[in-house]
């Protein structure tokens, strides 16, 4: 169904810059995230939700939609993140293309950039629908202000329709998802849900309960810089060592040459001179054993290069980021089944392909809060080509309403 306040709410939210900062030393990483959370918090108060508060530990806004049934129903939670990704988020100017014909290119503002169905064929799926995009010089912010807008709209709708029976519903609006640090601070006891769903997925029908397992590593390489005229036998180029390390990794196992369940090594950052170089990588694999094997390969290459150099010029820092939540959610498939049932009730074709990435739910699931991910209608995230579809957002709210009412009809034990 249509929700008349959803679009204006979404347009209001995306115009507020709430970009996170991976280089920050504070939490949440930016004050602008907190400023946006204050806007959301006031909206929740104005709607009349219960227990609206800011949890300092979690850096999250928490609120509750009270139960409308006396039946014993597990407390369900929904989460959406308030930060946007590492792309220009200042002065976002949304544009709305109504009744899209499914074939034409959509010019992004007055820029030289277009949403072109020849490049983005999924645009053809939205013939006759309303496309919301940006102006070509910013992202849109639908990741995850689609989810934020949908949760606030859910609250508004349920508070106005007491005839829909449901148990207690806890909502959380969290920071720093895009930089992978927000969920580690989350206060699961204060949230008080038996299980939850993040609302941060792609097109209608996408249901995510499997993700990559992830690690990150950093290399610091110390070279020896002398004048090239007398370099023989003395110079040790940190840049050459960096190149040798990169060339020792499997050449085909990179993001741009992998798909499906294939993992990869990804060089995020390289800086240096002859004297010193720094490299930053991420590792991804769907299997925990595969992640461990990739980490061991990195250690082995470092050891081999250091041995060949005759002195340990490469130092390595490696750490895990998150794990495939499917390994844990296999013990809680009744939660996945609840979402599947809601999708089927609405006639949606379910896509459970594992996420080639992670969600806050990846960490929360291992923190004792089982947490699959529902679609929010986000497309082409993290850049100028980001867009969403209004009808997809309507469907996302429909799914949320159906999920809580189904839980009341058949409570999970």
Between CA 32 and CA 15 the distance in angstroms is: 12
Between CA 204 and CA 129 the distance in angstroms is: 13
Q: Is the peptide bond before 103 cis (omega within 30 degrees of 0)?
A: no
Between CA 183 and CA 371 the distance in angstroms is: 12
| 179 close to 359: Cβ distance less than 8 angstroms | no
- Three-state SS for 391? helix
Q: Which of 33, 43, 64, 83 is catalytic?
A: 83
Other C-beta atoms lying within 10 Å of the C-beta of residue 262: 15
- Three-state SS for 47? helix
Q: Categorise residue 180: left if φ over 0, alpha if ψ from -120 to 50, beta otherwise.
A: left
How far lies 101's CA from each of 114, 126, 202, 266, in Å? 15, 8, 21, 38
Between CA 212 and CA 53 the distance in angstroms is: 33
Instruction: Tell me if residue 225 is catalytic.
Output: no
Between CA 284 and CA 262 the distance in angstroms is: 9
Q: Which of 144, 156, 177, 379 is catalytic?
A: 177
| 79 close to 199: Cβ distance less than 8 angstroms | yes
Instruction: Give the chain's radius of gyration (CA, Å).
Output: 23
Instruction: Tell me if residue 101 is catalytic.
Output: no
Burial class (CB in 10 A: 0-12, 13-18, 19+), 39: middle
Active site residues per annotation: 83, 177
């Amino acid at each position: 169904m249509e929700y008349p306040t959803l679009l204006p709410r979404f347009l209001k939210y995306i115009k507020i810059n709430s970009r996170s900062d991976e280089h920050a030393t504070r939490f949440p990483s930016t004050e602008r995230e907190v400023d946006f959370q204050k806007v959301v918090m006031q909206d929740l108060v104005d709607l009349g939700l219960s227990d609206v508060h800011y949890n300092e530990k979690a850096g999250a806004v928490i609120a509750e939609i009270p139960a409308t049934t006396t039946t014993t129903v597990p407390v369900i939670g929904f989460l959406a993140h308030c930060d946007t990704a590492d792309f220009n988020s200042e002065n976002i100017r949304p544009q709305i293309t109504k009744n899209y014909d499914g074939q034409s290119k959509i010019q992004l503002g007055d820029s030289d950039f277009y949403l072109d169905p020849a490049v983005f064929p999924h645009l053809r799926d939205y013939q006759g629908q309303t496309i919301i995009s940006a102006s070509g010089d910013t992202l849109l912010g639908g990741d995850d202000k689609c989810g934020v807008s949908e949760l606030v709209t859910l609250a508004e709708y349920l508070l106005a329709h007491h005839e829909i029976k449901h148990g207690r519903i806890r909502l959380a609006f969290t920071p720093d998802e895009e930089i992978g640090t927000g969920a580690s601070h989350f206060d699961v006891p204060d949230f008080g849900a038996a299980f939850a769903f993040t609302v941060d997925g792609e097109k209608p029908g996408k249901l995510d309960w499997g993700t990559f397992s992830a690690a990150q590593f950093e290399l610091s390489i110390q070279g020896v810089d002398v004048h090239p005229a007398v370099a023989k036998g003395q110079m040790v180029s940190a840049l050459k060592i960096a190149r040798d390390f990169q060339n020792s990794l499997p050449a085909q196992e990179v993001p741009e040459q992998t798909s499906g369940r294939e993992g990869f090594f990804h060089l995020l950052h390289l800086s240096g001179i002859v004297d010193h170089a720094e490299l930053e990588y991420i590792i991804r694999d769907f299997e925990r054993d595969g992640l461990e094997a990739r980490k061991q390969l990195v250690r082995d290459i470092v050891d081999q290069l250091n041995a060949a150099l005759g002195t340990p010029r490469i130092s390595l820092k490696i750490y895990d980021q998150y794990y495939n939540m499917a390994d844990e959610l296999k013990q809680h498939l009744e939660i996945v089944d609840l979402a599947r049932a809601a999708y089927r009730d609405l006639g949606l074709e379910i896509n459970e392909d594992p996420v080639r990435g992670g969600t806050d739910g990846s960490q929360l699931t291992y923190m004792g809060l089982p947490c699959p991910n529902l679609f929010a209608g986000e497309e082409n995230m993290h850049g100028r080509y980001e867009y969403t579809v209004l009808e997809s957002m309507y469907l996302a709210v429909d799914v949320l309403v159906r999920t809580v009412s189904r839980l009341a009809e058949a409570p999970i034990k």
